[in-house]
Amino acid sequence: MIQIRNNQLVALINPLGAELTELSKNDGVNVLWKKDESFWNRISPNLFPIVGRLKSDSYTYENRNFSMSQHGFVRDFYFEVINQDESSVIFELNSNEVTKQQYPFDFTFQVCYSIENSKLKVKFNVQNRGDEVLPYSVGGHPGFAVNGSINEYYLVFEGNYESERWLLEGPFYSGKTEPILLNEFFELDYKLFENDAIVIRNPEFGKVMLAHKKQGKLLSVSSNNWHAIGFWSKQNAPFFCIEPWWGWADSINSSGKFIEKEGLNFLNANEIGSHSFEIELF
């Protein structure tokens, strides 16, 4: 594990997937959940080069067929540490013959962690190392600890937002939405996730806070440019995920052609795309 810290926070990151595994204040209380594979086999995976699932877990590109599992493959690769000091670290993964079996593009993917005061800053850098346009999605998936029932927790939005929840049919979007009011006291319940995640595309807000009904506000997740956000848990699971995304899963009507996939970002040769979010502990 790689540790970074300052006088307020400590973070542990696993080079496998460059996955954040612990985040705590100096009191030692870790806000991330302890992995239990009977519920979920991840803690805070990084998602690239897709977010969500592809129809049939496959796609076509330039008349070739490729297979890729949900959320992409980088969470299963070891990253190289290319720079590190006491409060920051940069992990890097470069395309290779194994990645090209799933994703036929030349890329450099970096996950950069830095601690500043009471915030952990996470930045994804994607560089197109090839000559053709590089299409991709990227995102984070931190799972925060739930002690007791999720009904003891709520979300705090800085205002009232009459948003739309994008509805899923299985793991894919149906094309339908339903209104959802996000406000300063949005109560959590496992029933909200019976049909998988709550997904808000193009959110009007830039921050959401997780709070406990007795303990008050615990943490916030924020970004000034996320394209979507997901909220997810499972029945009786001891975690709650707040997921900043730049992309999303296929719809039931997706063509299967990767270049036509919704939610993609595009980079020209040698161009770098950067996407970032922050977790602040209270």
**Model confidence pLDDT, tens digit, residues 225-262:** 999 999 999 999 999 999 999 999 999 999 999 999 99
- Identify whether the C-beta of residue 267 lies closer than 8 Å to the C-beta of residue 136: yes
In this prediction, residue 170 carries a pLDDT of 87
Percent of the chain whose predicted confidence (pLDDT) is above 70: 100
Which amino acid type is present at position 182?
A: L
- Is residue 128's pLDDT more than 90? yes
pLDDT on residue 94: 98
Q: Work out whether strand 46-47 and strand 138-140 pair parallel, antiparallel, or are unpaired.
A: antiparallel
pLDDT at 27: 83
Mean pLDDT computed over 268-281: 98
Q: What are phi and psi of 137, to 5 degrees?
A: -125, 160
Dihedral over Cα of 25, 28, 29, 32: its sign: positive
**Exposed/middle/buried for 83, CB within 10 Å: 0-12, 13-18, 19+?**
exposed
The single residue listed with the structure tokens 């830039």 is 206
Q: How far is CA 81 from the centre of its chain?
A: 21
Domain 2-281 has what CATH class?
A: mainly beta
Section 38-51 average pLDDT: 98
Q: What order of strands is seen across the sheet that includes strand 19-25? A: 2-5, 9-14, 19-25
> What is the pLDDT at residue 230?
98
Provide the residue ranges of all domains of the chain, joining segments of one domain with +. Answer: 2-281
Average pLDDT over residues 199-223: 98
- Whether this model's pTM surpasses 0.95: yes
Give the pLDDT confidence of 154-201 residue by residue, as tens digits.
Answer: 999 999 999 999 999 988 999 999 999 999 999 999 999 999 999 999
Closest CA to 245 of 168, 90, 141: 141
Kindly tell me if the per-residue pLDDT of 109 is higher than 90: yes
